[in-house]
Amino acid sequence: MMYRLIGEAAMVVHFLFLAFMAVGGFLAWRWKWLIWPHLAVAAWGIVSVVTGIECPLTVVENWGRHHAGLAGLRPGGFIDTYIEGVIYPEEHTNLVRLGVVILVLTSWTGFVLRRR
């Protein structure tokens, strides 16, 4: 039971992490200190997409699921298991990534303009 809880908690944190990556810059308009964690999260997002490095949250979720006797995530990890082909069709991956980049850049532009 505890292992399953660890795996499910990692999944929830992963979803929150992705949500923060998409809209954290807008939250920084209200709470300025959030820009720094958002920059780090966005940098991790870029590095993980470009290099294909496995996210530590994926490792934790797979570990918890394995020890709970459940199947692990698909070979592509969290995104391939819960996002691509579920929330949007896989053939739109690059369009979705572009949308997230535009969303993040818009939030950063707004942050800079609001600081003036």
Tens digits of residue pLDDT in 49-80 = 899 899 999 999 999 999 999 999 998 889 99
| pTM (2 d.p.) | 0.89
Helices 56-67 and 2-30 sit at what angle, rounded to 10 degrees? Answer: 160
Tens digits of residue pLDDT in 8-38 = 999 999 999 999 999 999 999 999 999 999 9
Cβ atoms of 64 and 4 within 8 Å: the answer is yes
C-alpha–C-alpha distance, residues 31 and 25, integer Å: 10
What is the maximum alpha-carbon separation in the chain?
54
CA distances from 3 to 16, 23, 64, 89 (A): 20, 30, 5, 31
Cβ atoms of 47 and 104 within 8 Å: the answer is no
